[in-house]
Structure formats: structure tokens, C-alpha cells
Amino acid sequence: MTEPSTHVRRTGEPIDPAAVRIVRDDLRGPEIRALLEEHLRHMHTLSPPESVHALDLEALRRPEISFWTAWLDGMLLGCGALKQLGPQEGEIKSMRTAQVARGRGVGRRLLDHVLAEARRRGYVRLWLETGVGPGFAPARTLYASAGFTECGPFADYREDPYSVFMVRDLTPGAATP
């Protein structure tokens, strides 16, 4: 891995979204393994085990899941996945921004990428599950700003006091933020 640039090391400054490279990832690199392990550990500090719906490496390798990572100057900034639920519906999974990149536009860049891919596939609806506590507030704010609204459980999810379910209409002409 190359040495991260100094502009990534300085926290709080925006990262130029055009400079962030998003790639389809095979989930084999040590950087992504470390980020996903940290993600799972963190989710278990915020929610009880039965309410943690984050996927591990093996689950993310399933054929119905596409996985991307965001990079800048050889540094992993974040990841996100899209799970096909049906021919016209998908679910956002495993959105995570590395600590050094939080609050700097990386999550938005990944979300925009996943939304564009969902549209390219012809999905009419995109779902997600996230948490309810303060640790999940930035994620809920990001999703709401992208047009997601709260809804009830979908797919195999059940009502859960630690979960918030959200959906976005992707049909042509649907309202967008």
C-alpha cells in the first residue's frame, strides 16, 4: 500500500469527490478485511447481537451482493454494497467510512455510486436498515438527505427497537432531493 497523502491525513477538510476512486472489490485485501472487522466490532458496541445486521466477509461474497471500495492515494476510505432482493429491488449493505475520512464526503460518494448502480440495473426501489442510537445519526442523516424515508421492515427483517428501516423510490420521475 502506498503512503497516504497528507490531504487525507488532515481530518475535517473535505475530500474532493472526483479524486476518490471507487472500484468493484473482491474482498481479499487486508485493508478491507480490517475495515469490515472494525465495522462489525463497532456495530456490536452500538446494538445487541440479535440486532446487528452487518455482514461478514463470507456473507458479502454471495453472488447477489456487489461490493465496492473507495480509495484515495492508496488509502482505503470506505466501502458499500448492493444486495439484489428481486429483479427490481435492492438493499444497501455494509456502508462504512474509515475513521480518517468521516464527515468528509466519502459516504455520500459511495451512496451516490450505489444509487447510480441500482438505477442502471433498473431497480425501482432501494431499501436499507440502520440503527436507532446516536451512533447511527450521521448515517440516518445521509440517507434522508439522499431521499430515503422511514418505512417498516422489508425482506426477512422483523420489527426491532434497535433498527430503522428506510426506502427510496427510484422510478423515473420520483422526487429526488
> What would the grid cell of residue 135 be?
451512533
Residue in this structure with the C-alpha cell 433498473, named with its chain if needed: 122
The string of DSSP codes covering 128-150 is: EEEE-SGGGHHHHHHHHHTT-EE
Going by C-alpha positions, the residue among 109, 116, 119 that lies closest to residue 22 is 109
Residue in this structure with the C-alpha cell 488532515, named with its chain if needed: 10
pLDDT of residue 5: 41
Residue in this structure with the C-alpha cell 481530518, named with its chain if needed: 11
Sorted by where each starts, the structural domains of the chain and their CATH numbers stand as 6-169 (3.40.630.30)
pLDDT of residue 6: 37
| Backbone φ/ψ region at 24: left (φ over 0), alpha (ψ -120 to 50), beta | beta
Cβ-contact 166, 148 below 8 angstroms = yes
pLDDT of residue 157: 96
The overall pTM is greater than 0.75: yes
Cβ-contact 71, 19 below 8 angstroms = no
- Mean pLDDT, consecutive 10-residue segments, the chain of 177 residues? 43 79 96 93 90 91 97 95 97 94 93 97 97 94 97 96 97 72
pLDDT of residue 172: 81
Cβ-contact 34, 84 below 8 angstroms = no
**Using CA atoms, how far apart are residues 156 and 74, in angstroms rounded to an integer?**
37
pLDDT of residue 177: 61
